[in-house]
Structure 1
């Protein structure tokens, strides 16, 4: 079956990696990762699935890596701590809250963030965290460990949140925001 161009085809943005990733993200967010197929993605983009391979020659593997990069690459703003004086904690709190929100918004991609071997997606983020710490006066070796610890904390907390445990084991309802903030305080307090 040959797909007939839609009337809106001439008004649609040209196919690009960014457009493909955005459409894939909408599918994952709305229907789940298991429903993401190249055919479904082609339908969403109103193109033949094979047209996607022009932009993503490695196919679905490259698409999944792109989703991870899109969701998990969230550098911290090192310029937010240009003044030093202990404000690196505020910069990292802002980053952590935003990163958590991004992971929760795109929870369908979270399993890929945890399991895919896509170091480029996280390298920039870790480097930016290290830079915020370094500019805040934290020694390089400590900054390297703290950056990885902070990234692991945020990803791990988001994974537990998505899992959706309603109680904390003591028959109390979990206040995920309060728990996240308290845990973040513990992580940041340990950085010296």
Structure 2
């Protein structure tokens, strides 16, 4: 009997953690979520094979998805921006990060449910904090400024998944809301709202720097 020729080994690895994270992100985009069985089916492997690359299962995959989105943000040219006023740096940071998140809005609820500990995303926030520190924010003001910008970017990115218009109101039952939709709907609601919010946020940050003690006192008194 003649011996069978040995099968050549594949030149590239069939499964990698990067491929797993990318496939899971695609499932979020297409189906609003992912499961280990569906992910294994998408990749053409058994569920047990996935755990050789992502031992932490779903938690590790979500962290990998966050890193992919952060890498997308970094791919947008000069990010974080340098050599301009801190206000313009903050503006471009928020736009870039919001746009990257907004391409995958269905993944955001899962992302915010896990602490941020991947290097790519931590680098993004480290850059924002450095911008704010250089501008003069310190201590509690620094954390407030960071959180304010983060909430704006995340909230606007989640809104990217909303239908247009997001409210279905009848004039007879909800007349004020109906009038607002009729008179103000331009097809750019999401973009206009984000720009308006970003302008207001930067104005607020400038005020915090001018009179930080008064701003802090006013905020706490409001609570």
Q: Same fold (TM over 0.5)?
A: yes
> Residues 29-178 of structure 1: matches in 2 within 5 Å?
29-33=29-33, 36-71=34-69, 77-78=79-80, 80-81=81-82, 83=83, 87-114=85-112, 116-121=113-118, 123-135=122-134, 137-141=135-139, 142-164=141-163, 166=165, 169=177, 170-171=180-181, 172-173=184-185, 175-178=189-192
| CA distance in structure 1 between the partners assigned to 2:29 and 2:159 by the alignment | 18
Q: Is contact 1:28-1:108 (8 Å) kept? A: yes
Instruction: Tell me the CA shift for residue 11 of structure 1.
Output: 6.3
Instruction: Tell me the CA shift for residue 50 of structure 1.
Output: 1.0
TM superposition score normalised by structure 1 = 0.77
When the two chains are superposed, the root-mean-square deviation of aligned CA atoms in Å is 2.7
> What is the aligned partner in structure 1 of residue 20 from structure 2?
20
Structure 2, gaps ≥5 residues long? 1-8, 168-176, 210-223
| CA distance in structure 2 between the partners assigned to 1:155 and 1:89 by the alignment | 19
TM superposition score normalised by structure 2 = 0.67
> What is the aligned partner in structure 2 of residue 5 from structure 1?
none
Structure 1, gaps ≥5 residues long? 1-8
Per mean C-alpha deviation after superposition, the further-off stretch among 118-127 and 170-179 is 118-127
Larger Cα-atom Rg? 2
Number of matched residues? 176
CA deviation vs aligned residue, 1:130-188 (integer Å, no higher than 9, x gap): 111223x2232333321111001111222234233616832232621111111101101
